[in-house]
Chain A
Amino acid sequence: MASKAAPVVRRCTGRLLVSPSPSFLLSSTCRYSRPLRTPVASACRPTRYLSSAVPRRSAASIDVQNQEIERENVILETGKQPEEIKLPGGLNAGAAMSPQAAILKQASVMDQGARPIYLDMQATTPMDPRVLDAMLPFYTGLYGNPHSRTHAYGWETEKAVEDARANIATLIGADPKEIIFTSGATESNNMSIKGVARFYKNKKKHIITSQTEHKCVLDSCRHLQDEGFEVTYLPVQSNGLIDLKQLEEAIRPDTSIVSIMTVNNEIGVIQPMEEIGKLCRSRKVFFHTDAAQAVGKIPVDVNKWNVDLMSISGHKVYGPKGIGACYVRRRPRVRLEPLISGGGQERGLRSGTLAPALAIGFGKACEISKEELEYDHARVSYLSKRLTDGLLAMEHTTLNGDPERRYPGCVNVSFAYVEGESLLMALKDIALSSGSACTSASLEPSYVLRALGSSDESAHSSIRFGIGRFTTEKEIDYVLKAVQDRVAFLRELSPLWELVQEGVDLNTIEWTGH
């Protein structure tokens, strides 16, 4: 019906614009009335939606009178309707005179899109508008220090921060008192591993972690090695999961902490948390997990998993960057040496004034994630299946990591005979990464993929696709087509590909060095 109505209305608007003021008045009243449904009725009521002058349906209010006066001034001075006057850039003056149009101008002039599609949700996620909506009051009017106990400014902020803490705790099945706000998952990881190791250093000198951990865990462990601790870096199987038997063998009487991440940031495999937790609990070893990629995406329960310490990041759950949390179990109590000393905020584990707006945004993000967990997961699984099926349908492509025990939003695929970096360069219209953002600056192949036993070539030709809450089907289809085209193009250029097509086994070739 709408399509039938549209041309009629547009003609009608054009005609009425000859006498600007009545048309404007008519339309401004019309804007607030219910849209009429019959084509005939709508044809006789011109609406502002359809005139090219004003972007339709903007919620910001327009200063009606000023605009009217301005219009009349233009008509007096030039003797022309503002709509007839052309401005450079293809706009007419009528459009430029509306304050909203002025705002919209820049983006509306774009005739073809220029921004790449964002498909790197493991690096960071866009902040949900609902989160920003919860944060804004705390950037404008409510600026109290949540630790101020003597006045209302402090109380209101404290209340909101505590609510946020409760939301985070609910999402992971913890008690609000067990949540410590930090600056991010990196700080949480550092705090947990270094804190526990240093607190128990007189009796226990051994730490266990895996080779596919995030850089900040591995680096913290390396740092502790310099302080005299012993660290076991568990290897992983070719599907990315650790071997529980190896873990059991690695635990020693003087092991203080085991740190295994829940969802891997590069290949998306989910480690067997429950089993690891049970094992650690039975051997009386603290269990720390880096759940930055898992919280809000898969169901997380610290009690079911027997997790003692957990790192969470705000910006991976569609929250703000610069905030994270560390779950520190209270019963049985986990004791750690704080990295930061000071005023004793956050149970003395992380001194320093909180960033209320960030903490509140993080809390809101967790609340939304909790509500939307199933909906989002179903959606991400659907898109992921579409993408994975399409990519694996191409020849010589392999999915890295376990095909079953994985978070579907992280798809890591190797394209044989294509250089990963050149594929990334060829895919300029898609924001992708070949691995974690922390290591993507170097041209080294990903250490995670090397740990899975991938060859150098295979690790070099891998690309990670991250799907999230805001990814659309259209984007996935675009990406599939773009990848298919450009992989085919790059392979055409490759002499190796030519040999493969001829049926030569590349391993039999003797390369001559020079």
Chain B
Amino acid sequence: MATETAHRALSLYRSLLRTSNNFSAYNFREYAKRRTRDSFRSHQHESDPEKINSLVKRAEEDLKMLQRQTTLSQFFQLDRLVVEGGVEGKDAQGARARQKETGWD
């Protein structure tokens, strides 16, 4: 039972981070990743099953919200911020800037 919940939490954590990465706006993207990390970290030693359940439920809601909002953000893209340039690299042809080289982390 316990491992099942842990597994569920871990998979939610991964999905949240992955979805956060889809925000087109730099600030929202960074915030979503940081917030996800920090809130999971702050609850990593949680042992009360009821509390865990409610947190998992909350994470599921948040994931749905993130999926909607990141999709929406893809439709209204703006230029990148000055801090973004150069940091996240370009692809081989040098034409496209990508967010990150690798597929998953």
Q: Which residues of A contact B (CB under 8 A)?
A: 2-3, 5-6, 9, 34-35, 42, 47, 49-50, 52, 56-60, 89-91, 100, 103-104, 106-118, 126, 129-130, 132-133, 136, 375, 429-430, 469-472, 474-475, 478
Contact = CB atoms under 8 A, between A and B. Distances in A.
B71 A475 contact: no
Given A116-B81, A117-B83, A129-B73, A108 B98 contact: yes
A90 B96 contact: yes
A164 to B, nearest CB: 17
Most B C-beta atoms less than 10 A away, residue of A103, A470, A478: A470
Contacts of A129: 23, 28, 32, 65-66, 69, 73
Contacts of A469: 31
A514 to B, nearest CB: 42
A111 B85 contact: yes
Given A49-B104, A107-B24, A115 B81 contact: yes
A114 B82 CA distance: 5
A9 B79 CA distance: 30
Interface string B1-19: 0000000000100000011
Interface string B84-103: 11110011011111100111
Contacts of B102: 2-3, 5-6
Interface of B: 11, 18-19, 21-28, 30-32, 35, 38, 65-75, 77-87, 90-91, 93-98, 101-105
A47 B96 CA distance: 20
Most A C-beta atoms less than 10 A away, residue of B11, B27, B67, B82: B82
Contacts of B71: 58-60
A191 B26 CA distance: 38
A133 B65 contact: yes
Most A C-beta atoms less than 10 A away, residue of B30, B83, B94: B83
Contacts of B105: 2
Most A C-beta atoms less than 10 A away, residue of B21, B87, B96: B96
Most B C-beta atoms less than 10 A away, residue of A6, A50, A90, A472: A472
A9 B65 CA distance: 31
A74 to B, nearest CB: 20
Contacts, number: 137
A6 B98 CA distance: 14
A292 B105 CA distance: 41
B90 A117 contact: no
Given A113-B85, A116-B81, A103 B94 contact: no
Nearest to B21: A57
Nearest to B95: A90
B95 A470 contact: no
B8 to A, nearest CB: 13
B78 A115 contact: yes
In the A-B complex, the 6 residue pairs with the smallest Cβ-Cβ separation, listed nearest first, are A90-B95, A470-B27, A113-B85, A107-B77, A112-B85, A113-B80
Nearest to A86: B93
B85 A116 contact: no
Nearest to A2: B102
Given A6-B102, A59-B67, A472-B27, A111 B90 contact: yes
A6 B80 contact: no
Nearest to A48: B103
Contacts of B23: 129
Given A109-B95, A112-B86, A126-B27, A57 B22 contact: yes
A474 B103 contact: no
Given A6-B103, A35-B104, A59-B71, A115 B82 contact: yes
B69 A133 contact: yes
Nearest to B105: A2
B95 A472 contact: no
A471 B94 contact: no
Contacts of A59: 19, 22, 67-68, 70-71
Nearest to B30: A472
Given A111-B90, A132-B72, A375-B38, 6 more contacts: A58-B74, A107-B80, A110-B79, A112-B97, A116-B82, A472-B27
